[in-house]
Structure 1
Amino acid sequence: MPTKREIEIRTADGVCKAGLFGPAKAKAGVILYMDAFGPRPALDEMAERLGSHGYAVLVPDLFYRAGAYGPFDAKTAFVEEKTRTELRALIGGTTQEMTARDTASFIDALAKAGATGPIGTVGYCMGGSRALNAAAAHPGRIVAAASFHGGNLASDATDSPHRSAAKIKARVYVGSAGVDGSFPPEQSAILAESLRTAGVDHILENYVGMGHGWCVSDHGVYDAAGAERHWKRLTALFEETLA
């Protein structure tokens, strides 16, 4: 059975705490990019499940530069003004470029743990765009990248993932919520066209009836059936690319 190991990863900007899951001798690795509420039991459970498939799974605290924060209740944190303000500051203070740069250290940490083979990435909410941008920043190592209810994947921002599609060598899977203001149909169309033009092997799938956050068990919109569908897609992606 996979077990959690608490580790510290030295980056260019400090020390990032992370959870490492899965068997001790896994060759393939997965980086799980958190949603806005940070590492917590719900994400640990997801990493445990991925680790049970034989992968070394890393869950880094992307907000490590901010020092102590939270914990947050995923059901209410964006409703209450105090925690909403804190979350927005954390997200705004952790840029896409920072996470893409940190990913080199995350890959090194997996290698030190024995996962010297191919790497997959998966991200939820704010982590979705980071999983795709990581694949663009490290095309020589990352062979699969997945985003679930990821927001702003094809926005006007200069660091929007669709702008780096030509750098991606990984297979890409994007699962979007049925109705999601952070990733509306027009963004989905732009992302699909960018990936197609770049020659990226990709699938964009709309989970009709699912809300933003449906995959993660402590979200108010968690949907068990929709989450199981997400697991089938994610494990199939990694079985086909990380073997």
Structure 2
Amino acid sequence: MSMSIEIQAADGSGSFGGYLAIPASGSGPGIVLLQEIFGINATIREIADYYAEEGYVVLAPDLFWRQEVGVELDYTPEDWQRAFGFYQGFDQDRGIEDIAAAIAALRSRPECSGQVGALGFCLGARMAYLTACRCDVDVAVGYYGMGIEHHLDEAENIRGRLVLHFAENDEYCPAAARQDIQASLEGRDHVELYLYPGVDHAFARPGSEHYHKPSALMAHQRSVAAFRKAVGPRYDLSALWDKHCEYEFSTRNVDDTMATMVAEPYVNHIPTLTGGVGYRDLYRFYRHHFVDSNPADTRLIPISRTIGETQIVDELLFCFTHDREVDWLLPGIAPTGKYVEIPLVAIVKFRGDKLYHEHIYWDQASVLVQIGVIDPAGLPVAGHATAAKLLDETLPSNELMAKWAESAER
């Protein structure tokens, strides 16, 4: 749910607008989202909605209201010129006062649990840093901020967690500026500084000519982890994943399985390129090619589980008898009746308390060896031995390496 609200300025000069996004749960910790130089445009609203899906009550205040109410620019050359004009006319100190008013307004809302952080991009990243220095926030996160190096004398005032993301090729925050920031902030408790090699300003904005998805994903994970640690919300990801697997492999209920996921999830089985992107295709995949297609004796044997702030990594054995065509794993291969055990790794990403995606990995060559489709003789592949050695690390190593014996006396 989203809406526009009015925020009273602390200096009595009037009120200004803000875009408010509320999570599906109806409540959560707060984030004040601080704009780029383009105002509260579609990009900022999408980021607000994105973090609301992560479980936050997000308020994006109109920081340019003292120059012009409701600035909402695109990324055309003409709008770039207008944006720089607003940037040059921006009163930073008044802006911080307005951010403090937005924080107070957010804390006063019934949807907000009380704890509040700040998140900013470009100009907003500098303002997020200054918010950490001058305002009462529990955490502040900034992406490719410019001008932070001119305010490092205020760093002593930071009381909460601070996370700053920098782009290596960013002309607005060049290497010399980053070195000053690093020299001042690195080593401080609760401060995290990240540099993303080979990327430029706005690397996290979809549609930007500098958008770099791997860096954007990594930065987002680090940002949400910082918010989780500082203000919550905290979810039992392990229990959520176990329930999802129960619906997939035990009760085999597609609707219940999909109910554990976000509105538009995806699943990617890396070795076979099977799965689905978006609710419609994933539902189709689960219904006709996965949930009811797995052999009756399918078992998942857990080996290890790593639980982060936003995702789970599961290491397990996937065991079954190949008594039917298993579309997602062995598409087009008729049942062989062979029993198979394969080491499998699942990286499961969450948004809030819902699964967002699954990346599933296994050694397809091991599967093909075990069902007799591949003869391993002379090839650097193994069959059931891969599962056996996962359970018993003392089993022989390096038997596929012909030169292993030669190094014994070296």
- TM-score norm. by structure 1 comes to 0.86
2-structure distance, mates of 1:133, 1:116: 23
Determine which structure has the larger strand proportion and give its number.
2
Q: In the alignment, what sits opposite 1:61?
A: 62
Larger radius of gyration: 2
What residue identity is the alignment partner of 2:140? Answer: A
Q: After superposition, where does 1:170-185 map in structure 2 within 5 Å?
A: 170-185=160-175
Give 2:144's aligned residue: 149
Q: Does 1:210 align with 2:207?
A: no
Aligned to 2:15: 15
Partner residue of 2:131? 134
Q: Relative to structure 1, is the Cα distance of residues 69 and 219 closer, same or farther in structure 2, using a 3 angstrom cutoff?
A: farther
- SS of match in other structure, 1:65: coil
Q: Deviations over 1:44-90 (max 9, x none)?
A: 1111111112211011111011124754222x33xx4xx44432331
Work out which structure has the larger RCO, using CA pairs closer than 8 Å and 6 or more positions apart in sequence. 1
- The answer to whether residue 100 in structure 2 is matched with residue 104 in structure 1 is yes
What is the identity, as a one-letter code, of the residue corresponding to 1:213?
A: A
Question: Deviation string for 1:9-61 (max 9, x for gaps)?
Answer: 11023321110112374241101101011111221111111111221101111
Q: Percent identity?
A: 25
After superposition, the CA RMSD in angstroms is 1.9
Structure 2: unaligned runs, 5 residues or longer: 233-410
Aligned to 1:242: 231
2:86 corresponding residue in structure 1:
90
Contact kept in structure 2, 1:37 and 1:73, CA below 8 Å: yes
Q: Which moved more, 1:141-150 or 1:16-25?
A: 16-25
Change (3 A) 1:180 1:67: same
Matched position secondary structure for 1:145: strand
Would the aligned equivalents of 2:62 and 2:69 in 1 still touch at CA under 8 Å? no
Matched, 1:189 2:186: no
Give, as a single letter, the amino acid of the residue that structure 1 aligns with 2:48. A
Q: Could you report, residue by residue, the CA deviation over 1:121-140 in whole angstroms, capped at 9, with x for unpaired residues?
A: 111011101001011111xx
1:15, 1:7 → 2: CA distance?
10
**Using the alignment, how far apart are the partners of 2:68 and 2:172 within structure 1?**
27
Rounded to whole Å, the distance in 1 between the matches of 2:92 and 2:207 is: 25
Residue 226 of structure 1 corresponds to 215
Amino acid at match of 2:85: A
Give the letter aligned to residue 10 of structure 1. Answer: Q
CA contact (8 A) 1:5 1:20 kept: yes
1:178-206 per-position Cα deviation (integer Å, ceiling 9, x unaligned): 21121112211211222248x44211111
Kept in 2: contact 1:169–1:200 (CA 8 A) = no
Contact kept in structure 2, 1:96 and 1:133, CA below 8 Å: no
> What is the CA distance between 1:163 and its match in structure 2?
2.1
State TM-score, norm by structure 2: 0.52
Per the alignment, residue 31 of structure 1 pairs with: 32
How many angstroms apart in 2 are the aligned matches of 1:225 and 1:182?
A: 21
> In structure 2, what is the Cα distance between the partners aligned to 1:5 and 1:70?
17
Q: How many pairs were matched up?
A: 228
* Map of 2:53 onto structure 1: 52
Provide Cα deviations, 1:198-230, integer angstroms capped at 9, x if missing partner. x44211111112210111224232222222122
Unaligned runs of 5+ in 1: none
